[in-house]
Amino acid sequence: MNMKTIVYTVIALFVAVTVCGCASAPKKMQEEVAGIKTRVETLETKVEGVEAKQAEAEKAAVEQTQSLEQMKGTNISIKSRAKGSERVREIQTCLKSAGYYTGNIDGVKGSMTKKAIKEFQKANGLEADGVVGKKTWEILSKYQGGGNQ
């Protein structure tokens, strides 16, 4: 073999190896990209799960806080003659001062008291549920002491 043939053979082999290596590189890169995409999708799914659990926990915390506020006496819901009846008397007095209650100030949350609370709530743009909660009391308490406002 002459030198020229050897050089051409070496160059041909070099080109063949280079071309083969270059041809397999994109395929390998595509496989790596596909693997990365799969991992990203898995992580996104896990993040969505964590976010959903977090939203549920936040909702439960809000509900628990609201429940605790109701237990602290911000709502009346009993017909007891103890502390609850004093609160009902206070509410009845305010409702009477505001012109919504015409019954006796007896400390019993009966149908007349509930009706007056609902009418007061409707007139003041509140949810008419018949329960004196924080928002209702904020407005209603302005009528304490017989003051018409």
Residues 97-112 pLDDT 10s: 999 999 999 988 889 9
Q: Does residue 23 have a pLDDT over 70?
A: no
Q: Cβ contacts of residue 92 below 8 Å, gap of 6+?
A: 101, 103, 105, 106, 107, 113, 116
pTM > 0.85: no
**Token pair 């911000």 in the structure block, residue:** 74
Rg (CA), the chain: 39
* CA distances for 25 relative to 5, 16, 20, 32, 128, angstroms: 30, 14, 9, 11, 71
